[in-house]
Chains A and B, each alone.
Chain A
Amino acid sequence: MRQFAGIVVRSLIIACVAASIGLGLNLASNKALPWIYVPPKELVLEGVRVKLIDEKEARRLFDIPETLFVDSRHQDDYRKGHVKGAIFLEPAEKEERFPVVQALLPENGLLILYCYGPECDMAEQVAGFLAQLGYKNMMIMTAGFRLWEKAGYPVEGKGDRG
């Protein structure tokens, strides 16, 4: 037991020294990360500012007729359920799919893109693509479909969550 306690103490010392090296090198780095991660409020994609919003703000904008939701998740998941009225445009097939949905995506409207959740970057990839094509009025609902659905906001689809 005492021998095991010694192993634990020595391992903690090794871990602390190694962690200190990491923290020290981060301080010395010209690309130092902040210790506490704070999610950004907006992104700049291809020169276009894209505001990051939560599901509550997205729900408020949902009632404005000029707003259109763009679902950037995988097609299987879109079919199972999506924000009511959302257009499907996933990053993997955005070039092929865009001509099909272009007529539904007015450049002067507000596009709200979403994917699964906060760390999913699929909506960001599609927003970057649309920014290249000249779309300037876009937002990303970082909460994703997961929290939209959880909040009980309007959805449509097959409803098969299995």
Chain B
Amino acid sequence: MKYLVLAARLLIGGLFIYASIYKILDPASFASSIRNYMILPEAWSNVAAMTLPWIEFVAGVFLVLGVQTRPSAFLTTGMLAVFFSAVLYAFSIGLDIDCGCFSSAASSRGRVGPFDIVRDGALFLVSLLILARDTGDFNLAKLVGRQ
């Protein structure tokens, strides 16, 4: 089990670091994406775009290193639950994320599909596994202590 948890940590941590980079580099574009989901009041979109990517980044780095693993997994699990709910909501109303619209056009590329739901659902479960089963193996403090 400890190797499975390690793999889960590296997967979720790596994905969160990767996903946060472009948002950190272009917060205005991410703020626009947040508004497209139409879940948050649009007045809050800028604050969310400034803060959320850094929470993703720090939680991702901590998961990879094994620092504060379970609190970090709590954050990633919470964020994935929100993303999963957002995708499910967008899918249920036929929202097109590219244009923030409710398009029914087949030509629309930004439509949320079953793949997005399965992906976010699976990642949520993997993150939950870390939160539930991490026992502190392979964390930075232990690895450094062995040297």
Q: What residues of chain A have their CB less than 8 Å away from a CB belonging to chain B?
A: 7-8, 10-11, 13-15, 17-19, 21-23, 25-26, 31, 33-39, 73-77, 80, 92, 115-122, 144, 146
Query: In the docked arrangement, what's the CA distance between A33 and B46, Å?
Result: 7
B74 & A7 in contact (Cβ 8 Å cutoff): yes
A11 & B51 in contact (Cβ 8 Å cutoff): no
B51 & A19 in contact (Cβ 8 Å cutoff): yes
Q: What residues of chain B have their CB less than 8 Å away from a CB belonging to chain A?
A: 24, 27-28, 31-32, 35-36, 38, 42-47, 49-55, 57-59, 62, 68, 70-72, 74-75, 78, 96, 99-108, 131
Residues of A within 8 A of B46 (CB): 33-37
Give chain A nearest CB distance to B38 CB in angstroms: 7
Residues of A within 8 A of B96 (CB): 116
Query: Which of B27, B42, B58 interacts with A39 by CB under 8 Å?
Result: B42
Give chain A nearest CB distance to B12 CB in angstroms: 14
Residues of A within 8 A of B36 (CB): 119
Query: Which of A8, A33, A146 interacts with B31 by CB under 8 Å?
Result: A33
Instruction: Enumerate 28 A-B pairs (CB-CB under 8 Å) in ascending A order.
Output: A11-B72, A21-B58, A22-B51, A25-B50, A31-B28, A33-B31, A35-B47, A36-B44, A37-B35, A37-B46, A73-B101, A73-B105, A74-B103, A74-B108, A75-B107, A77-B105, A80-B104, A116-B96, A116-B100, A116-B102, A117-B101, A117-B102, A118-B42, A118-B100, A119-B42, A120-B99, A120-B101, A122-B101
Query: In the docked arrangement, what's the CA distance between A149 and B38, Å?
Result: 19
| Chain B contact residues: helix, strand, loop or mixed | helix
Using A14-B71, A35-B47, A120-B100 as known contacts, list a sample of 15 further A-B pairs with CB atoms less than 8 Å apart, ordered by residue number in A. Answer: A7-B131, A11-B78, A13-B71, A15-B75, A17-B58, A18-B59, A22-B52, A23-B51, A26-B27, A36-B44, A76-B103, A92-B107, A116-B96, A119-B42, A120-B101
A121 & B99 in contact (Cβ 8 Å cutoff): yes
Query: Which of A17, A22, A38 interacts with B50 by CB under 8 Å?
Result: A22
Most chain B beta-carbon neighbours within 10 Å: one of A26, A34, A75, A119: A119
Give the residue name and chain of the A residue nearest to B74 (CB).
Answer: A11
